[in-house]
Every structure is written in structure tokens, then in C-alpha cells.
Amino acid sequence: MIAMMGAISRLLNLSSRDSHLSEILKGGGISFLMSIITIAFGYLFTLIVSRAYGAEAMGILSLCVTFIGVATLIGQLGFETSLVRFVAQYNSNGQRSLIKEVYAKVLKIVIPLSILVSVLIFINADIISQKVFNKPHLETYFRIAALAIVPMVLLNINKQALRGLKRIGEFGLLDGVINYFFALMFLILFSLLLERKTIYPVVAYIVGIIFATVLSSALWFRQIEIRSPSVAINEIKYRKLLSVSISMFFIASMHMIMQWIDTIMLGIFRTEAEVGIYNVALRLANLTAISLFAINSIVAPKFAELYAIKDMEGLKQTIQHSTRLIFWFSAPVLLAFILLPGFFLGFFGDEFKRGAMALIILSIGQFVNSISGSVGYFMNMTGRERACQNILTIATLINILLNYLLIPVFGMIGASIATMISIVFWNLASVVYIKYDTGILTLYIPKLLL
């Protein structure tokens, strides 16, 4: 703890002389606060759904949220990530009129595509519910969920565009705070005024998305009018947008598979109770990397900006300072989960203490993820998305194979080992690639631990 406080104190003193570090601390601090609020609202929403509507309603909501996430991924086709890169680069180069053009062209692609996805799901909800999930009663829920796809795509496009402008406060508000806030308000209203039905949590969640989408549009257009009074005409080719975005789409798809495959395969081979225990352990383990998620909000556009102006020294300082900061915030969380896993899991009930070893293993994986730095965003924002795609593909295949081999034998322990190994491979392979390609070492380990 003394070492941690000393390291953070040195970073704070250095920030007064280093503009890159100062920007990371300011933007990361705002994002960290927003992440805490989002987590609080999310857990409160989950708590109300579970206690007021029951486990069935919670399961249906989880399926609909997952369903919306997959459909949204298809509808936005990777443009939400590529937009961060393009907006940050054009903004740093003073090409403000190009920001309007790239945003307009992205909308011309994602709006028709997301409408098509929404319509197809709405029409085929009966087939999806019966043939894919073998649960015919989900047909109505999937039709309602289909209505959220277009707003969710627009929300993601707007918030990532604001992120490209480094409007981290607005990005943080739109990255969970606003939609969960309105979802909570409507869920409480439904609970007080209406008979409690399993459909209301889904409706409340979607209403939260719609309110956040409206706010995101207002915030984006306010910023773009301030920054870009004129509009460029046909300076950006659709081929260029698509070539970057398709790679981003593939990368996002691999991330999604890695995020969900352990839970899906655990559900196939083991009991629902074990899936529930594992997912609580997984959510807790993700707290080990909360500082990484917060720092990512500011360093992604920062990487794109510095790369656009060819400031490699600035890139090196930014990623090394951010990784050092992440280490000292992540280390205490990892230590707490290693020493007292049962204590933290016990908050959810005594049966969840069975996930203690899974929590430890998953937390180690997330710690490696943290101390490796923002390797994915570094590669995506500096024109190395193909390398990112290749490494992530191998990591995903490792994850699927290990889950298939280990879960039938070891259950949730096998799932956690598979997840940890794939995360460690993805991050360390990326660290090696970046070091070889740029000479920049992103990994941070204090000298006192060597």
C-alpha cells in the first residue's frame, strides 16, 4: 500500500510537467467516476429486477440484452470504433469539416443496415425463439428487443464520436449512466403503478436506451456545430471507411465471442446454478481491470491524435504512463480477491462462495490484461488493426478449444482457466508485437517486483 501511494504521488507530481500524463489523469479520473456510477446503477437495476420480478424475468432480460448486443454489433459494422480514430485524427489536424462528412457517411451506412437487421429480427422472432432457443414464449420479447436496435446503434455511434473529440464526460454519461438511470426510473414507476409482469424490465431497459440516444444526438450536434461550421464534399471515400471498419467489426466480434463463449459452453455442459456462480465471479473479476476500462476512454482518441501528427515519443509516454497508473490501481483489487475471495462472493449468498477459485483465476487474467496496457486500442488507433485481428483470432480459437476440453471435466474452474489463458495470450502477444514493431514496451512491472 505504501508503494502504491508513493507511485501515485510521483505520477501526480510528474503530471504538472507532462501534458500527456495530465490529460490521462484528468480524462481517466472522469471516466473512472462514470464507470463507478454505471456499475452502481447497473447493480441496482439488476437487484430490483431480481427481487421484484423474479429469476425468470432476470433471465429473460439477460437474453434480450445479449440479443440486442449481438444485433447492434451487426448493425454498426465496426464503425463505432473506426469513428473514434477518424474523428480524433481529423480534429487533431484541424480538418474539422471532415468530421461532419465522415459522421454523415457513417450514418448513411449504419442506419439502413440497422433498420434491415431490426426488421428481419422482428419478422422472424417466432423462428428465432422456437428454433434457436427452443423457447416459443420469447417471441414477443424478441420483437420488442428488435425495436431497440436502431436507437442502440445511433447511441454507440454518437458516444464514440464524442469520445473521438475527447469529450470524456459526455462519453461517460452515455456509456451506461444515462440509459441505466432512465431504465431505473421507469422500472420503479412500472413496479409502483402496474401489475408486475416479466415484460416490464425489458421495456424499461429499452426506454433507457431511447432516452440516452436522444441525449447523445443533442450532445453530438452541439459539439459538431461548435467545431465544424463548414462541410467538406466527397473528400472521404466509402472504400476507406469500410476497409478500416470491417477490420474493427471482426475484432469486435472476436471480443464478443471471447466474452460470452465460456458462459455459453458452461451452460451446455453444466448446471444453471454453476453458470450463475461463475458469472458472479466473472463480474467481480472484471473489477480488477476497471482502471484499464477507465483509462481506455481517454487514451483511444489520444493514440489516434498522436499517431496522426507522427508523435511517437508522445505515444510512448502516453501508453507507459497510463499502464503504470493502471497497475497501481489494479494491484490492490487483485490482492483483495486472492486473499478474500469467499468474503466478496459471500455478499451474493453462501452458495456463491463455491466460485472462490474461479474468482482468483479470472482476476489474475484481468490483472495481466491491465498491466499490459491498452494494447488493443493502440493497434486499432495506429493503423495496426490487421495485426490486432490476427492475434485476437488465435486467442479466440484457444479460448473455444480450452473451454471445450476443460469445462466437461472441471466445470467453472475449467472455464476460468480457459478464459485466463486466452486473455494472457492475447495481451502478451500484443505486447511483443508492439515492442517489435514500434520499439515501445507497453507492459509495466515495478522494479521492486523483479
Does 232 lie in the same domain as 272?
Answer: no
Residue that wins the pLDDT comparison between 216 and 135: 216
Among 30-39, 163-172, 204-213, 325-334, the minimum mean pLDDT is found in: 30-39
Residues in the chain: 450
Does 293 lie in the same domain as 178?
Answer: no
Residue pLDDT, tens place only, 10-33: 544 544 455 555 555 555 566 667
Tell me if 146 is assigned to some domain. yes
Of 290, 285, 295, nearest to 319 by C-alpha is 295
pLDDT at 433: 92
Task: Identify whether the C-beta of residue 209 lies closer than 8 Å to the C-beta of residue 179.
Answer: yes
Does 157 lie in the same domain as 126?
Answer: yes
Does 251 lie in the same domain as 215?
Answer: no
Q: Give the residue ranges of DSSP H helices in 95-237.
A: 96-123, 125-127, 139-146, 149-164, 168-172, 178-193, 199-227
Of the ranges 137-146, 148-157, 311-320, 366-375, the best mean pLDDT one: 148-157
Residue pLDDT, tens place only, 39-89: 788 778 877 776 677 656 766 777 787 788 888 988 888 888 788 778 877
In this structure, the number of other CB atoms found within 10 A of the CB of residue 13 comes to: 10
Residue pLDDT, tens place only, 411-438: 889 999 999 999 999 999 999 998 888 8
Task: Identify whether the C-beta of residue 288 lies closer than 8 Å to the C-beta of residue 329.
Answer: no
- Checking if the pLDDT of 113 tops 70, the result is yes
pLDDT at 29: 61
Tell me if 2 is assigned to some domain. no
Residue pLDDT, tens place only, 362-407: 999 989 988 888 788 788 777 787 888 889 899 999 999 999 999 9
Does 250 lie in the same domain as 232?
Answer: no
Q: Which of 204, 236, 268 is the last residue of a domain?
A: 236
Question: What is the identity of the amino acid at 254?
Answer: M
Does 327 lie in the same domain as 215?
Answer: no
Q: Which of 175, 203, 236 is the last residue of a domain?
A: 236
pLDDT at 27: 56
Among 96-100, 217-221, 346-350, 376-380, the minimum mean pLDDT is found in: 346-350
Measured distance CA(210)–CA(332) in Å, rounded: 38
Measured distance CA(150)–CA(152) in Å, rounded: 5
pTM here?
A: 0.71
Residue pLDDT, tens place only, 161-197: 888 887 877 887 887 788 889 998 998 888 887 777 7
Does 252 lie in the same domain as 226?
Answer: no
Q: Which of 236, 270, 285 is the last residue of a domain?
A: 236
Tell me if 93 is assigned to some domain. yes
pLDDT at 401: 94
Tell me if 23 is assigned to some domain. no
pLDDT at 8: 47
In angstroms, the Cα distances linking 128 to 31, 58, 257, 338, 362 are 37, 20, 19, 42, 32
Looking at residues 148-154, what average pLDDT do you find?
A: 94
Count: domains in the chain: 2
Residue pLDDT, tens place only, 255-299: 777 777 787 777 677 766 677 677 778 878 888 877 777 776 667
Does 262 lie in the same domain as 209?
Answer: no
Does 363 lie in the same domain as 225?
Answer: no
Tell me if 12 is assigned to some domain. no
Does 228 lie in the same domain as 259?
Answer: no
Residue that wins the pLDDT comparison between 78 and 361: 361
pLDDT at 227: 52
Question: What is the identity of the amino acid at 239?
Answer: R
* Structural domain range at position 344: 246-450
- Checking if the pLDDT of 118 tops 90, the result is yes
Tell me the helix, strand and coil percentages in the chain, rounded to 5.
85, 0, 15
Measured distance CA(426)–CA(443) in Å, rounded: 13
Does 104 lie in the same domain as 59?
Answer: yes
Does 251 lie in the same domain as 225?
Answer: no
Looking at residues 344-354, what average pLDDT do you find?
A: 76
- Checking if the pLDDT of 341 tops 80, the result is yes
